[in-house]
Structure 1
Amino acid sequence: MKALRTRSQERILNLLKTTKQGTSAQDIYVELRNRNQSMGLATVYRSLEALKLEGLVQMRTLANGEAVYSLAQQDKHHLTCLQCGMSIPVNQCPAHALELELQATHKFKIFYHTLEFFGLCTQCQLAHTAEASHS
């Protein structure tokens, strides 16, 4: 059964369909205002939460603590640098078989999963090594 969605939820879904990467609730709020479809920031957050519980939107927390939202079309995997915040998408999924097993074993409906590794990118490693050698 398809859930009835509010006009606000539909506007947010339509906006997310046009974005290539995750976007913050604040950016969604600003972009909707720019499109003359403004709504309150609290409404943006409530709508995102409802869409997330429906399995249509996924949330990812960046290294800086900011939450970004995107359509839950596919599983997302990243290498994220703790220093500069750069995030590199990883296309292979080592957890797919585990997801299927967990879904069957626990009778749990999984909408999506995320897998994220945190560390230092090449540039930040070089900078860190250079700083350490000057100390």
Structure 2
Amino acid sequence: MKAQYPRSQAQIIQVLKLLNYAISAQDLYVELKRRDQPLGLATIYRALEALKVRGTVKALTLTSGEALYSLISQHQHHLNCVSCGQSFAINECPVHHFEEKLKQTHHFQVYYHTLEFFGRCHQCQRKSVL
């Protein structure tokens, strides 16, 4: 049975599916307006929060403090540079086995997980040596 979403949440889900990349709430506001589906910024934040609670959307908080939202399709892991702010995706997942253990031992349904490392990228390290 397909989950039913309020109109604002359904609009956001549709746009996130079409974009297929993480986006800030402010940029989502602009994108919805561009598509003639305007929603207020407060409504967008409430809808995103509700979608997070339902396990439909995830938020990635950048080193700048800005949150980027995307649909939960797969686990993603990142290396985040504290100097330049770039985020690099990691394709490996060393915690899937731990997620399964939590599911069994704590009867906890995991929607998704994040794994982020913070440090300095190769380019920023080179700049400090020069």
Shorter-chain TM range is over 0.9
The answer on 1:64 being equivalent to 2:82 is: no
SS in 1 for 2:21: coil
Aligned to 1:101: 101
Q: CA deviation at 1:19?
A: 2.0
Q: Hey, which bits of structure 1, 4+ residues long, moved more than 3 A?
A: none
Report the equivalent of 1:73. 73
- Number of the residue aligned with 2:92: 92
Tell me the amino acid that sits aligned with residue 19 of structure 1. Answer: L
- Supply the AA of the counterpart residue of 1:33: K
Larger Rg: 1
What is the TM-score with the length of structure 2 in the denominator?
Answer: 0.95
Deviates more, 1:11-20 or 1:114-123: 11-20
- Unaligned segments of structure 1, at least 5 residues: 131-135
SS at match of 2:51: helix
- Measured in 2, the distance between the counterparts of 1:114 and 1:62 equals 12
Structure 1 residue 129 displacement after superposition = 1.7
Q: Distance in 1 between matches of 2:15 and 2:44?
A: 12
Percent identity between matched residues is 53
SS at match of 1:58: strand
1:51 offset after TM fit, Å? 0.8
- Within 2, Cα distance between the matches of 1:18 and 1:106? 36
Q: Secondary structure at the match of 1:110?
A: coil
With normalisation by structure 1, the TM-score equals 0.92
Map of 1:4-23 to 2, 5 A cutoff?
Answer: 4-23=4-23
Q: Tell me how far apart the structure 2 counterparts of residues 54 and 2 of structure 1 sit (CA, whole Å).
A: 13
Instruction: Name the counterpart of 1:126.
Output: 126
Q: Equivalent residue of 1:18, what SS?
A: helix
Structure 2 equivalent of residue 38 of structure 1: 38
Consecutive unaligned residues of structure 2, counting only runs of 5 or more, are none
Q: How many residues align?
A: 130
Report the Cα offset of residue 16 of structure 1: 0.6
